[in-house]
Chains A and B, each alone.
Chain A
Amino acid sequence: MPLVGVDEGTGGLVRAARGGDREAFGLLVERSWQRLVRLARSVVGELEAEDAVQDGLVAAWARLGTLADPDRFDAWLSRIVFRRCLRAHRRQRGRVSLEAVPEAPVSCDPAASVSAWQLLSRLAPRQRAVLHLTVVEGMTDAEIAPLLAITPASVRAHRRRARESAARLLQGGKS
């Protein structure tokens, strides 16, 4: 049954999608897409980000019935996509070192994009995600915690370690 007269807030769309409304789920996909791809790109890189997000979205559709509170859809979806990214990251590690194949730059400033990703890719996946959500999305610890299924204290610890590692790598690159 297509969306007719459905409350177009996230909760309303989730409830409609849970009832099998693919159009409602499509709208949720459209709303979340950019945000999820940005997160995935920081965890698995440009090449695999969109695949990881699509896989996560399909998995989310199948598991919509397990979502207790439709109003927490965004955090729930982010957790699913983040777990897909962790899986993709493990596969990447098994295949080839990320350092061996630096990604093609796609921004206006190629040097900046290569160096940002090259450094980011040497951090642990959770550190990458925390750094991304803090620096790029400007989120608070309390907002980040449910997205990654960790506590705000863990968010702070991951960010501190990420900055320490980044500083070490930057110092190493200088010498």
Chain B
Amino acid sequence: MKDPDVNDELSRFEAELRAWGARPARTSASVARTQVTARLPLVCEPIPWLRLAASAALVVVLAVATWLGAPRASREGKASVHGESPPPIDPNVVVWVMDTRTTVYFVLGPDGSTKGGMS
């Protein structure tokens, strides 16, 4: 770049570029206006606020659904925590869960007799 010849050539190139780049467009502005407006879709895309609002509404719906589902799940979880632990699984044990608080089980004796209890 320090070479004066190169600087001269660069200046010449930029002068050419100025002349080349400043030429008017082949299509006039008024024709371009007609062409472009003919290509425009009928309406603008919905403003991103609408899209944003829709996304926010979806998030709220999901949050509410999760919140409504959560107490049920935790209630069930509490019941299993506070209730009796289930009887051991054994081939000779028949377990009958009546509800979350009541489990009835039967133990089959070796002679076919049964004994059982309720918890």
B1 touches A113 (CB 8 A): no
A13 contacts the other chain (CB 8 A): no
CA distance A31 to B3 in the complex (A): 42
The SS class assigned to the B binding surface is helix
Q: Which residues of B contact A37 (CB under 8 A)?
A: 25, 27
B17 touches A167 (CB 8 A): no
A33 touches B22 (CB 8 A): no
- Partner among A62, A106, A135, A136 whose Cβ is within 8 Å of the Cβ of B45: A62
Q: Which residues of A contact B30 (CB under 8 A)?
A: 30
A132 contacts the other chain (CB 8 A): yes
The residue on B at minimum CB distance from A39 is B21
Q: Which residues of A contact B1 (CB under 8 A)?
A: 163-164, 167
CA distance A24 to B36 in the complex (A): 12
B115 contacts the other chain (CB 8 A): no
CA distance A152 to B84 in the complex (A): 73
Q: Which residues of B contact A (CB under 8 A)?
A: 1, 3, 6, 9-10, 13-14, 16-27, 29-30, 32-37, 39-41, 43-49
* 6 cross-chain pairs, A with B, having the tightest CB-CB distances, nearest first: A136-B21, A65-B47, A37-B25, A116-B20, A33-B29, A116-B16
